[in-house]
Amino acid sequence: LVDAATFASSATVERFVIATGKALLDKLIAAGCRFYAIGPETAAAMRVLGIPCAAVADQATIPALVGQVEKDFTPKQTSNQASR
């Protein structure tokens, strides 16, 4: 399915919910899709519409939103990997 979805406004959250429908949205959530918000208002809209917010961008910009997704999807090094 989908690994991540980003939302740049409350309106995009609303349109996404309408476009996907409840059954597909529930399937995405159950499959582990991570959802990201550009700012706190967008995250609030996600909560109201039943979409879990994995993270909110540090700044309300597209580059910051993309950076948050990259950060979450970059494999983390363990102390054993770092010492090799």
Q: Is the pLDDT of residue 17 over 90?
A: yes
pLDDT at 80: 59
Cα separation of 29 and 69, whole Å? Answer: 16
| Mean pLDDT taken over the chain | 92
Cβ-based neighbours of 69, under 8 Å, separated by 6 or more: 4, 6, 34, 36
Q: Is the pLDDT of residue 19 over 80?
A: yes
In one-letter notation, the amino acid at residue 69 is V
pLDDT in tens, 39-59: 999 999 999 999 999 999 999
pLDDT in tens, 28-38: 999 999 999 99
